[in-house]
């Protein structure tokens, strides 16, 4: 019976893993022509419990430990302890396993067929391989590779200090990120953020009501703790069938935890509220309002960046007057600033970058791949 259960689990894992591939990874670390993939499953009560990162490299003598250390270096919200080549401790945001159990390490040529390995310090990195860790010592965890992950986000991709206008008054601040999903035509993320100020604490519904009271272009309706309709200028999300608003709470983009309804979300200083119309957790946003002028900055923008991918130059086409262009690495570090529409990117390493375009009227963020 136990063998039947084990093979049933493996069958289910292979079916589910087909839904997550290299193309789903958003947080890449390192540079080079080779790729490896890291999945960590904390096996806890948080949602999500499993995350995936990508790693680029060129060297022929790296180990799984080198990859994990590189990811930890790029993500301040992550910490690791690897004495003598074995993974002893791994923490990430709210995921803080005790030391009562232990970490089990995995690797293999595909996400769906990883097997036990000899430990992170003794497992070489192979181009195209997947690597994983799971926490726990019960039989189910031992026999089961990491569960299907979500794409890890960087805690550095957006910070409260980037907000230029705040709604409300008070000593406490929170961000409200509203994600309508990616426009399949333009590739824009269509994710927007409001900064709110208040005293004491505030619940999710009150946070949305505060925004609505001071932003005529924002409106929402809710019932039984669920968002039924939300609109921001021309962006609209109406709950219908399988399409619905998902609710999240976190401290930054890397720490979103999904919540069942609005009543579960109480905000304090530096807490973030996230709403996403679809399956994606709220992604890198653009500031949604200019509270001083009382006008919106989320009118649909016409920006074109080409070529993309690019190796030498990128060209920005826009009808607005360019004020500033900032280029950020996936870890949130600003690597280049320009005031021109044609930008030389030859000095950048290969990888994914985010281009922030600021004009006299608005700003927008776009993803660019450097070949």
Contact 174, 202 (CB under 8 A): yes
Q: How many helices (H) and strands (E) does the chain have?
A: 4, 30
What is the percentage of the chain residues whose pLDDT exceeds 70? 88
- What is the C-alpha separation between 223 and 322, in angstroms, rounded? 43
Same-domain check for residues 199 and 95: no
Could you tell me the residue range of the domain that residue 236 belongs to? 160-287
Choose between 95 and 18: higher pLDDT: 95
Band (pLDDT 50/70/90 cuts) for residue 17 is low
Choose among 282, 287, 296: nearest CA to 219.
296
Q: Is residue 308 part of a domain?
A: yes
**What domain count does the chain have?**
3
Q: At which of 93, 126, 151 does a domain end?
A: 151
Residue 14 lies inside a defined structural domain of this protein: no
Whether 213 and 126 map to the same domain: the answer is no
> Do 64 and 120 touch, CB atoms closer than 8 A?
yes
Give the model's pLDDT for residue 351: 84
Q: Is residue 63, in this structure, part of any structural domain at all?
A: yes
Q: Say whether 97 sits in a helix, a strand or coil.
A: coil
Element (H, E) at 240: none
170 and 274 in a single domain? The answer is: yes
pTM value? 0.78
Max Cα distance, the chain (Å): 69
Q: 3-state class of 267 per DSSP?
A: strand
pLDDT tens-digit map of 297-336: 444 445 778 888 888 889 888 777 888 888 888 766 788 8
Coil, helix or strand at residue 368: strand
Asked if residue 320 lies in contact with residue 361, where contact means CB atoms within 8 angstroms, the answer is yes
Contacts of 199 (CB under 8 A, 6+ apart): 169, 170, 171, 172
**Can you tell me the distance from the alpha carbon of 336 to that of 232, in angstroms, rounded to the nearest whole number?**
31
Q: Is residue 39 part of a domain?
A: yes
Query: Domain check: are 146 and 171 in the same one?
Result: no
Q: What is the pLDDT at residue 141?
A: 66
**What's the chain's average pLDDT?**
87
Nearest to 47 by CA among 204, 249, 182: 249
- Check which CATH number belongs to the domain holding 70 and give it: 2.170.130.30
CB 206 within 8 A of CB 331: no
User: Which residues fall within 8 angstroms of residue 216, CB to CB, at 6 or more apart?
Assistant: 294
Residues 312 and 218 both lie in one domain: no
CB 36, CB 24: distance < 8 Å: no
Is 84 contained in some domain?
yes
- In this structure, the answer to whether residues 143 and 168 fall within a common structural domain is no
| Structure token digits, residue 65 | 């430990």
Same domain? 140 vs 179: no
> Quick one: 121 and 234 in the same domain?
no
Residue 4 within any structural domain of the chain = no
Q: Tens digit of pLDDT for each residue in 90-140?
A: 999 999 998 788 999 999 998 888 999 999 999 999 999 999 999 987 666
């Amino acid at each position: 019976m136990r063998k039947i259960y084990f093979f049933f689990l493996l069958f289910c894992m292979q079916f589910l893993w087909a839904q997550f591939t290299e193309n789903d990874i958003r947080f890449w670390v390192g540079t080079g022509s080779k790729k490896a993939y890291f999945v960590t499953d904390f096996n806890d009560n948080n949602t999500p419990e499993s995350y995936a990162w990508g790693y680029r490299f060129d060297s022929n003598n790296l180990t799984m430990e080198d990859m994990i250390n590189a990811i930890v270096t790029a993500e301040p919200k992550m910490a690791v302890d690897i004495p003598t080549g074995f993974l002893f401790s791994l923490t990430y945001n709210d995921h803080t396993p005790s030391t009562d159990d232990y970490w089990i390490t995995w690797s293999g040529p595909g996400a769906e067929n990883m097997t036990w390995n000899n430990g992170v310090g003794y497992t070489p990195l192979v181009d195209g391989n997947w690597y994983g860790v799971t926490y726990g010592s019960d039989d189910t965890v031992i026999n089961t590779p990491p569960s299907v992950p979500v794409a890890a986000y960087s805690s550095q991709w957006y910070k409260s200090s980037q907000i230029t206008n705040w709604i409300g008054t008070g000593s406490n601040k929170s961000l409200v990120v509203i994600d309508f999903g990616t426009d399949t035509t333009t590739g824009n993320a269509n994710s927007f953020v409001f900064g709110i100020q208040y005293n004491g604490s505030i619940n999710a519904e009150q946070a949305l009501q505060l925004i609505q009271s001071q932003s005529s272009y924002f409106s929402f309706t809710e019932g039984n703790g669920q968002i039924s309709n939300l609109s921001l200028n021309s962006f609209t999300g109406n709950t219908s069938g399988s399409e619905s608003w998902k609710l999240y709470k976190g401290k930054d983009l890397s720490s979103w935890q999904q919540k069942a309804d609005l009543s579960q979300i109480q905000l304090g200083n530096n807490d973030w509220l996230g709403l996403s119309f679809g399956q994606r957790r709220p992604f890198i946003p653009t500031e949604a309002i200019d509270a001083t002028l009382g006008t919106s900055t989320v009118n649909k923008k016409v920006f074109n960046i080409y070529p993309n991918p690019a190796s030498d130059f990128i060209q920005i086409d826009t009808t607005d007057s360019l004020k500033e262009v900032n280029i950020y690495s996936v870890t949130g570090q600003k690597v280049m600033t320009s005031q021109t529409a044609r930008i030389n990117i030859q000095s950048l390493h290969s990888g994914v970058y985010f281009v922030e375009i600021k004009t006299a009227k608005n700003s927008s963020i776009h993803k660019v791949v450097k070949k």
